[in-house]
Amino acid sequence: MQQPIAILDSGVGGLTVAREVMRQLPREKIIYFGDTERTPYGPRPAEEVVRFTREIVDYLVQFGPKMIVIACNTATAVALEDIRSRLNIPVIGVINPGARAAIGRSTTGQIGVIGTEGTIRSGAYEQALRQLNPHVRVISEACPLFVPLVEQGNFRSNETREAVYQSIGHMRSYSLDTLILGCTHYPFLVDLISEVMGPQVMLISSADETAREISAILHNEGKLSRGDELPVHQFFCSGQPTMFKSIAQQWLGEQIELTPVVWQVPKIG
C-alpha cells in the first residue's frame, strides 16, 4: 500500500497546494481534508485553530501518511510546532516556503504580505522574512473578505472585484515589487489581485515552493513513491460537499484524472 501525503486546510485553499504537489510529484497519493464546516479560520482565536488542526491531524493519521502538510497559513502560524511535537513523521507548513520564494524573487526588498487576520496578527511572515533577510521592508494587510468569497466559488464577480480593490487598493502606494499571497485561498483570486496591484508587482503563492520542499524531504528520507500506477487521491470535507466538490473539480480537473475520488464526510468536533 502506498503511503499518502496528507494535506489539510480550513476549506478549498489547500487545493492550491495539492494541485502543485500533483503536478510536481504525480506518483504521490494525496489525502486531502478541507474543514469547510468550520471555515474561515482567520478570525478565530489561536487556541481554537490549534484544536481544530489537532482534530484533523488525528483524523488523517489513520491513513498512515508519510508526511503532513498544513496547507493553511493561519494554522501554520499557530499550530505547526504543536503538531510537529506530537508526531514522528515530517510536518510542514506553508509560511517558510512562501517567505523563501519571496526573498528569492524580490529585487528591491519591498515585500507585501496579505493573509487572514490570524496570520497577519501572528507576525509569522515578517519573522520568517526577516530571518532570511533582516533588511527587507514588510507591509502586511489582513483581507478577511476574501476567504468566504472563495469558499462560495465566487472568484470573478463584481462583488469580489470590489472586495479586492477595497482591501488592497491602497497597497499600490508602497512601491512593492513582491506580494505574498499569504493565504492558500488567495491564488483563486490571482487575476483580480494582479489587476489591482499591476504588472510590476510579482505575486508569490507558497504552493510551488511547498511542493518543492515536500519533494526534497521525501527524497532525503528515501520515501518518494516509485510505483508506475497513478495514485487515487482521496478528498474529505467536514461540511456540505457540493461546493467543495465543484471547486475542486474546477481547480484540479484539467490537471489530473479525478476518478475515482472518494468523497466522505467525517464526523469531527
Is 204 a residue that touches ligand DGL (CB under 6 A)?
A: no
Query: Least separation, in Å, of the C-beta of 40 and ligand DGL?
Result: 3
- Spatial distance between the Cα atoms of 49 and 127, rounded to a whole number of angstroms: 20
Residue 73 vs 234, nearer CB to ligand DGL: 73
For ligand DGL, which is the closer residue by CB, 39 or 167? Answer: 39
Supply 13's cell numbers: 485553499
| DSSP calls for 70-82 | E--HHHHHHHHHH
In Å, what is the CA distance from 93 to each residue of 3, 157, 210, 214, 262? 19, 31, 8, 10, 25
Number of amino acids touching ligand DGL (CB under 6 A)? 16
Nearest distance, CB of residue 257 and ligand DGL, angstroms: 25
Q: Is 168 in the site for ligand DGL (CB under 6 A)?
A: no
- In one-letter notation, the amino acid at residue 100 is R
Three-state SS for 136? coil
Span of 7-15, 22-30, 154-162, 234-242 interacting with ligand DGL by CB under 6 A = 7-15
Of 5, 49, 69, 72, which residue is the catalytic one? 72
Site string for ligand DGL, 63-82 (x = CB under 6 A): ---------xxx--------
Q: Does 183 participate in catalysis according to the annotation?
A: yes
- 13: contact with ligand DGL by CB under 6 A: yes
168 with 197: CB under 8 angstroms?
Answer: yes
Cα separation values, 104 from 20, 99, 109, Å:
19, 9, 10
* Integer Cα distance of 127 and 146 in angstroms: 24
Residue 72 catalytic? Answer: yes
Please tell me the distance from the alpha carbon of residue 212 to that of residue 204, in angstroms, as a whole number. Answer: 14
In the complex with ligand DGL, the residue whose CB is nearer, 40 or 231, is: 40
Per CB under 6 A, 183 contacts ligand DGL:
yes
Judged by CB, which is closer to ligand DGL: 41, or 125?
A: 41
Ramachandran category for residue 149: left, alpha or beta (phi over 0 → left; psi -120 to 50 → alpha): alpha
Candidate residues 9, 28, 209, 213; the one interacting with ligand DGL per rule CB under 6 A: 9
Would you please indicate which residues are annotated as catalytic (active-site) residues?
Answer: 72, 183
By the criterion CB under 6 A, which residues form the site for ligand DGL? Answer: 9-10, 13, 39-42, 72-74, 116, 119, 147, 183-185
